[in-house]
Amino acid sequence: MQPTPTVLVSRQADGSFTVKVRSPRYESSHVVSVPEGLQAELGADDVPPEELVRASFMFLLDREPVSSVLPRFGLDVVSRYFPEYPSELRHYLATASGDGTATRDSP
């Protein structure tokens, strides 16, 4: 089983989020935006936006290597590549922890 990566999310002055993904084997940096209204559309308006971004990254990392994650994107594009994103997001929100780490069910 691979170690769970650390996903650090910080809000920037312009409203975007810087995401750093770290594991023993790699580190990457990304800039993510959460378009207005998307959080409510996803049924996640009850969680902080930082947690939405963190959970979304864990969703992505379960489906593709970090090297395939776009360096800059809006969360609204995730469902174009992964149609199951809106329906599976709640699971990832439940398993994401606010300390910068997250748990994964899959290896």
Task: Copy the structure tokens of residue 70.
Answer: 């776009």
Alpha helices, H only, the chain = 38-41, 49-61, 78-81, 85-95
Q: To which H or E segment does residue 73 belong?
A: strand 72-74
Q: What is the pLDDT of residues 15-40, one digit of tens each?
A: 999 999 998 888 999 999 999 999 99
- Classify 13 as helix, strand or coil: coil
103 has a pLDDT exceeding 70: no
Task: Copy the structure tokens of residue 105.
Answer: 């069910």
Q: What is the pLDDT of residues 52-100, one digit of tens each?
A: 999 999 999 999 999 999 999 999 999 999 999 999 999 999 886 554 4
- What secondary structure letter does DSSP report for 105? S
In whole angstroms, give the CA distance from residue 52 to residue 89: 8
In whole angstroms, give the CA distance from residue 5 to residue 15: 24
pLDDT at 104: 41
Task: Copy the structure tokens of residue 18.
Answer: 């810087």
Q: Who contacts 77 (Cβ-Cβ below 8 Å, separation ≥6)?
A: 70
pLDDT at 95: 80
44 with 93: CB under 8 angstroms?
yes
* Residue ranges of domains in the chain: 6-95
What predicted TM-score, i.e. pTM, was given to this entire model?
A: 0.86
Q: Average pLDDT of 2-24?
A: 91
